[in-house]
Amino acid sequence: MKSSKNIITPTGDSLSTQIAVIGSGPGGAITATRLAESGLDVTMIEEGPHLSLDSSPHFSLDEITQKYRGGGITVGMGKTKVAYAEGRCVGGGSEINRGLYHRVPSEVLDFWSREFRVEALNESELAAHFDACEQGAKVSHLPSLPSLVSLKLHEGASTLGWSSIEVPRLTRYDLDDNGKDRSTKESMSQTFVPKYLAGGGKLLPNTRVQHIKRNGSHWHIHSGNSGNGHRSLEIIADTVFVACGAIQTSALLRRSGFKRNVGNSLRFHPMIKVAAQFAEKVNLPGELDPVHQIKEFDPRFSMGCSATSQPALALALASHPEYLGEVDRHHQYMGLYYAQTTGGQGIVRNLPGFNDPFVRVSLNSSDLRELAEALRRLCECLFAAGAIALYPDIAGFPKLKSIAGLDELPDLLPADRASLSTLHLFSTCPMGEDRTRCAVDSFGKMFNTDQLYIADASLLCGPTVVNPQGSVMAVAHRNVMEYLDRLKR
């Protein structure tokens, strides 16, 4: 893969292309692939390196160092801080996430269509685009029983009469040499990027785009050294698709002078985690990744299983340093779970002298109250599943030993002590025909510009309620097919 002649290292200070796609995550990779397969001259630009999916173990320190922006240390600042993760490699977030896949709920699409005046966005019109993405990305269900960590969540939900589902993933399942089920993660670097290269597309990794500027009938894309030995370069393109993710897309556009409705409306799914200890072993080597989510309380909040490695458990118990020894002694008896809501908002701004933008987030009292309720419900479910101890990720909060301890949980999550994170960021450049709140039209074209489009989670109008990767992929596919149709007219 890495020796492909289409993975380029420019010999001069500039290069020209018909279409430039900045970013190679789910939105960018799908957009670039369809453009290249249509016979267009396409160059996909990625700030990070081009690495194989198995260049490092998943969720390991090596992977975080190689593939995460800022070594995984990225935080939205505010009274309540929220840690977030961004991929910085070919394939973007698809390389580092768990690959859980949902179709966006129809009620969410209806709300966006109504409130933001998005055209041609409903369940039936997106169905074919979901189908194409699911086939190309290899979305699969489990071939057999899920892991014990996953089953515990499902067991607790069933005991309480709550709706619990298995979420499909971007995963390939087969059998190992011993006839046991195993899973192999899929990602853009495994699926759409190879198709893109086979279709004649060119890939330019290790290239950080500093700003873009329209000059006559062309876009001039100025890049600088991204810390990987790549020199400065100017890329000249007729058309540009920006697909750097909700944070970096809005930062790039603002650096380039595009500020109207850009970076002002960040939304995310705030998440709080709970480590659960059981009387029996649930966290065994070689088990398939957990896949269950509780949907009983959607769209207000949902619950699910996190990756439950020993380091992840230790990180979750950082709020309880006195209990870290439990992870060393009993990690095979422990699982990691989360509750997440749709509350919270933020802004993205650039600061002089800094490469990465400043992200400010805020959660009001209603947001914190809903998170507290979601946490309480998650703990209730885990005790119903047989947990003997729970460790909510709140600094200074005691471990819970029985369901009676739920009375000790706060009604309002403490803003300064709760350890919140998110993997789902969107809405910094919302799409639609309402120009008072939207940055791009219904199909991703920026208002008052020529041949400038957005193709990532930035253009989603708000929280998707579910994991947004499927929504990003389908909307990007919808938009690029509309672009290609318009070229034929």
As a whole number of angstroms, the distance between CA 93 and CA 291 comes to 18
CA distances from 138 to 34, 36, 57, 119, 424 (A): 17, 20, 21, 29, 21
In the set 102, 230, 424, 477, the catalytic residue is 424
Q: Is 424 a catalytic residue?
A: yes
Displacement of CA 397 from its chain's centroid (Å):
29
Phi and psi angles of residue 412, each rounded to the nearest 5 degrees, phi first: -125, 120
Q: What is the 3-state secondary structure (H, E, C) of the chain?
A: CCCCCCECCCCCCEEEEEEEEECCCHHHHHHHHHHHHCCCCEEEECCCCCCCCCCCCCCCHHHHHHHEHHHHCEEEECCCCEEECCECCCCHHHHCCCCECCCCCHHHHHHHHHHCCCCCCCHHHHHHHHHHHHHHHCEECCCCCCCHHHHHHHHHHHHHCCCEEECCEEEEEEECCCCCEEEEECCCCCCHHHHHHHCCCEEECCCEEEEEEEECCEEEEEEECCCCCCCCEEEEEEEEEECCCHHHHHHHHHHCCCCCCCCCCEEECCEEEEEEEECCCCCCCCCCCCCEEECCCCCCEEEEECCCCHHHHHHHHHHCHHHHHHHHHHHHHEEEEEEEECCCEEEEECCCCCCCCEEEEECCHHHHHHHHHHHHHHHHHHHHCCEEEEEECECCCCCECCHHHHHHCCCCCCCCCECEEECCEECCCCECCCCCCCCECCCCEECCCCCEEECCHHHCCCCCCCCCHHHHHHHHHHHHHHHHHHHHC
Active site members: 424
